[in-house]
Amino acid sequence: MRLLRGRGGWWYVGRAGTALLPGALVSGGRLTPEGVRQVAAAGIDRVPAPEHYSLTVVTSTACNLGCPYCFQNTPDGARRITPAKLDARGVAACVEFTETRMAELGARRLELLLFGGEPLLNPAACVALLHAFGERMPTTASMVSNGVLLTPRRAVELAGAGLRDVQITLDGPRPRHDSVRATRGGRSTFDTILSNVAIAQRDTALRFTMRVNVTPENLPELPELLDQAAAVLDPGRTRLALAPVLDYGRGLAVPGEHAAERAVDAYALAVRLGFRLVRPRDTHCDFCSETAGRLGAVVGPDGTLFSCWDAVGEPDLAVGTLAGGYDPDPGPRWRRCGGPEPSAGAFTDAVDAGVLDLIRATAGREVTSR
Ligand code: SF4
């Protein structure tokens, strides 16, 4: 659960819901005994019985971009992760593993995420996974992509195979984005991504989340980015997600709490422009909150299991295999998500409180992440 200080009190974000609590129910950043009683009576701290299983599959560890903060890249620009692609045998192994885990859990529905590197460097595996799981079980499928390879034909193919949601990333207005998220050959990507998403919004039912990795440099430029995006995209079918940059290599500064107000202002502008918000969630993660992958698994292209997205592709952080199951004692190899920078948490908390205030003030503009 999370307790976030909002404008009108404290937001309690639990597994089963969110409530705005009066200040008298919180003391020293913790619930008072009466607060505990009221939260329990409302049922928002209840841990729901698992009804879905979460599976992230890396279809390609390689990527066509070279973002400096990426966990794929070392500070000198060398590759950290060996390029690998999921093949047909890997798809079959993912299905067999998942069916067994879902039966053990009693889950009836799968939440499938196609991940990378860049998953669309291996589109055949993306389509094969969507078909294989969609034919066997109720599946909600999403993808994290940089958006450059999401051509109009590819978008139609993926949507037809069952893909529902796509998260792309724009790291600032055109010049800022292109200075960070260029191809490995140095080509700009901003206009390609926006054009691909706009055409996909026209031709398919795909839903999009526009993520921005926030840094002190791009924070003042968010209004310009939103104006540029709103001119091309359908804001009513686009969710905005601002996140502190998780810097794995270059020592980029993470925005501190003082920057949160600016980020909330950007969310308010986004609402005025017609973009959707994502309701903040508690800290639970289907992949890494519980060991041994009870509620979900992260699978590399060669069938290696990892505890969470942050660990993907790093051989030293492998915690098992599809064929052999989980290591019963992974120790520190069981990495939990959230990135290496603790101060990012204060920024996220302050921004999420602001988002909840905004959702309250503009009832009905938000969509949940599922
Ligand atoms: S697009 Fe994603 S996977 Fe590719 S380099 Fe950038 S952050 Fe890394």
Which candidate, 314, 280, 208, 242, places its Cα nearest to that of 4?
280
pTM beyond 0.75: yes
Give exposure, 74-107, as e/b (b: 16+ Cβ within 10 Å).
eeeeeeebeebbbbeebbebbbebbeebbeebeb
Answer whether residue 368 shows pLDDT above 50. Answer: no
Q: Domain residues of the chain, as ranges?
A: 2-42, 52-286+335-369
Contact 90, 125 (CB under 8 A): yes
The pLDDT tens digits for 74-85 are: 555 565 677 899
| Strands, sheet with 207-214, edge to edge from the N-terminal-most edge strand | 325-326, 320-321, 304-306, 296-299, 52-60, 109-116, 139-144, 163-169, 207-214, 238-244, 276-278, 366-367
Closest residue (by CA) to atom 7 of ligand 1?
70
pLDDT in tens, 210-241: 999 998 889 999 999 999 999 999 999 999 99
Rounded Cα–Cα distance for residues 293 and 287 (Å): 6
Stretch among 39-48, 133-142, 167-176 having the lowest mean pLDDT? 39-48
Ligand 1 centre to CA of 70 (Å) is 6
Give percent above pLDDT 90 in the chain: 73
CATH code of domain 52-286+335-369: 3.20.20.70
Encoded tokens for 43: 């049922």
| Whether pLDDT at 340 is above 50 | no
- The mean pLDDT of the chain is 90
Model confidence at 259, pLDDT cuts 50, 70, 90, reads confident
Minimal-distance CA residue to ligand 1 atom 6:
67
Å from CA of 72 to ligand 1 middle: 7
pLDDT at 256: 57
Distance 339 CA to ligand 1 centre (A): 15
pLDDT value, residue 79: 56
In this predicted model, what pLDDT tens digit does every residue of 170-202 receive, in sequence order?
Answer: 999 999 999 999 998 889 999 999 999 999 999
pLDDT at 359: 93
